Amino acid sequence: MSLDPATTRRIARLARIGLDDQETETVRTQLGGILGWIEILNEVDVEGVPPMVGTSMNTALTRRPDAVTDGNCQEKVLSNAPDRAGPFFTVPKVVE
Amino acid sequence: MLTDLTIAQAAAGLRKRDFSATELTKAHISAIGQLNGRLNAYITVTADQAETAATRADKTLAAGDAPTLTGIPLGIKDLFCTNGVRTTAGSRILSNFVPPYESTVTANLLKNGAVFLGKTNLDEFAMGSANLTSAFGEVENPWHRSSDSTALVPGGSSGGSAAAVAAHIAMGATGTDTGGSIRQPAAYCGIVGLKPTYGRCSRWGTIAFASSLDQAGPMTRTVEDAAIMLQAMAGHDPKDSTSASIAVPDYRAATTRSLKGLRVGIPAEYRPDGMSEELLAVWQKGIDMLREAGCEIVDVSLPHTKYGLATYYIIAPAECSSNLARYDGIRFGVRAEGATSLDDLYEKSRHNGFGEEVRRRILVGTYVLSAGYYDAYYLKAQKVRTLIQRDFATAFEKVDVLLTPTAPTAAFGHNEKPDDPVQMYLNDIFTVPASMAGQPAMSVPVALDSRGLPLGLQLIGRHFDEETLIAAGAALEKSAAFSARPDLRAGAAA
């Protein structure tokens, strides 16, 4: 299994991880190795086998009453903000 | 020495007024001061908070009727959010993160009176098997080969917790286990590590790696101590929808349970080609010990074992790529400087903030979930996961518990790490299948190898039957009489 550079760049872009050309090449080779190793699963016959979602141990998810149980903690929510303006998180300008 | 006591012994000593909680905590803080510079087991030491908590514990003890862990000093893996105490997940991207809330597991321990010594080192976001991926440096295993002083890895991802407990600079520690991250470091450091059933401990407030696999558990020097800690950590939590609404039994009582008639399964597939004779001999020794304790030994088969790791390395990265999408430099964590646009900010912050292994797993996960590959990889892996779980269900129709080795080797050197990531992943070959199926499992130290390093055996149980693990683990512990201690530990000449 080998990945081409364009696919590697597309994956990095989807994951929002900036990679330079050399890193892209290293990742391309390593991902190829990992994906090649994973191909062992092609040996397994999964015809008619349902996918396991979660760990299938909770037979039914329970519901809680539709009531407010938390809130009024704006300062806590903002306490780790790398940059803030009053009660807002800031981001670089997105509209010209 | 106070640092040599087990949790059970210390709890008894505190109640008899042999020593105070303050003395116990100070002894540990002082030992951390002497050893942590070399071991790097703690990322953050909270000495002042620990002494304040110890003072409070002494008052509670004086008043009588104190909960079990009152005044017991513990290490907390730096993946559990602790209110007002920096929580890094071993990552640069969270190097400045101070949670304004407490995880359920640590809140349960605090409610039980425990004293937190600090936050222990780990592989970045719990992704690794040697504690080599932490942004806060490598941890040194307190054990060394009898022949030389080569620095060895403590295993991972809960490597700091394992090293701290083994070196007597914590009486016990919390770990988390996604594919073996409690059991494998416990084996490498010669201590007990218990991964409970998925759903036994709440995941709320524990930084997520792979949500369908992550489970918190205790790391201690004895099986009884693991039972005591798990008792305090476990229980249903409405804040985690996957936490099980099942009563928590008396785990400590299970340590003295008779094993007469218990059926122990020995899975044929845990004997891959090239396994060392030494490890096979230790496994056989464990089988003999359980037989002598009254167990019936039964050969079983878990036919999909060989597909466990490949399945894991699809499912876990897929979940990690989704869970780690939140670290983008906007609301918390480290934001990269000099970004020219929002996308640039994301890409720079995530590139600079994550280490190589975390980036690699996010990228694998993104790939297997991306359009056109989802069915071939992710859906296929989920189906194989069903088959792995069925293997265990079938085996547990015939037996009550399984006995296997915990890891394929003893601890290796920092400079003996394989370059190929796939070779590194093979460390988890015996621990991953139980994680995939949600089974509880425990590693118990049983013997030293010919180079003087500890080897552990793993017990795997039925869902929500940690008691049988504890009963069988206590029996193994008793007959193995593993009393060796590492050369680097509190009170020993370093």
DSSP assignment string, B251-269: HHHHTT---TT-EEEEEGG
Taking the CB of residue B6, how many other CB atoms lie within 10 A of it? 16
Burial class from Cβ neighbours inside 10 Å (0-12, 13-18, 19+) for residue B4 reads: middle
Rounded Cα distance between B233 and B6, Å, is 18
List the catalytic residue out of B77, B103, B202, B243. Answer: B77
The pLDDT score that the predictor gives to residue A60 is 66
Out of B9-23, B67-81, B264-278, least confident range: B264-278
- pTM for this entry: 0.97
Is B192 among the domain residues?
Answer: yes
**For residue B450, which amino acid is it?**
S
- Is B195 known to be catalytic? no
Residue B416 is predicted with a pLDDT of: 87
Predicted local distance difference test score (pLDDT) of residue A1: 66
> Does residue B124 lie in a domain region?
yes
Judging contacts by C-beta atoms under 8 Å, the chain B residues touching residue A50 are 383, 386
- Give catalytic status of residue B157 as yes or no: yes
Exposed/middle/buried for residue B196 (C-beta within 10 Å: 0-12, 13-18, 19+): buried
Beta bridge partner(s), residue B75: B118, B173
Catalytic-residue membership of B349: no
What per-residue string of b and e applies to B86-123 under the rule 16 or more CB within 10 Å gives b?
A: bbbbbbbbbbebebeebbbbbbbbbebbbbbbbbbbbb
Per-residue pLDDT reduced to its tens digit, B95-114? 999 999 999 999 999 999 99
**Is B274 part of any domain?**
no
Tell me, what amino acid is at B389?
Q
Interface contact B307-A40, CB threshold 8 A:
yes
H/E segment holding residue B403: strand B401-405
CATH code of residue B131: 3.90.1300.10
CB contact under 8 Å between A46 and B366, yes or no, is: no
Q: Where are the beta strands (DSSP E) in B178-309?
A: 192-195, 215-220, 263-267, 296-300
Pick the CATH number of A1-43 from 1.10.3470, 2.60.40, 1.10.20, 3.30.70: 1.10.20
Looking at every residue in chain B, the average pLDDT score rounds to: 96
With 60 as the cut, is the pLDDT of residue B493 above it? no
Query: B70: pLDDT confidence band, cut at 50, 70 and 90?
Result: very high
What is the rounded CA–CA span in Å between residue B171 and residue B134?
A: 23
Question: Is B62 part of any domain?
Answer: yes
Question: Is there a contact between A18 and B359 if contact means CB atoms under 8 Å apart?
Answer: no
Assigned domain for B167 exists: yes
Q: Where are the domains of chain A?
A: 1-43
Number of domains within chain B: 1
B331 part of a folded domain? no
Report if residue B51 sits inside a domain. Answer: yes
Is B378 a domain residue? Answer: no
Mean pLDDT, rounded, for B163-185: 98
Between residues B494 and B205, which one has the greater pLDDT? Answer: B205
CA distance, residue A80 to nearest chain B CA (Å): 5
Tokens of B241: 């929808």
B401-405 and B263-267 strand pairing: parallel
With pLDDT > 90 as the criterion, what percentage of chain B qualifies?
93
CB B349 within 8 A of CB B94: no
**What residues make up the domain containing B154?**
2-258+476-480
How confident is the model over B140-153, as pLDDT tens digits?
999 999 989 999 99
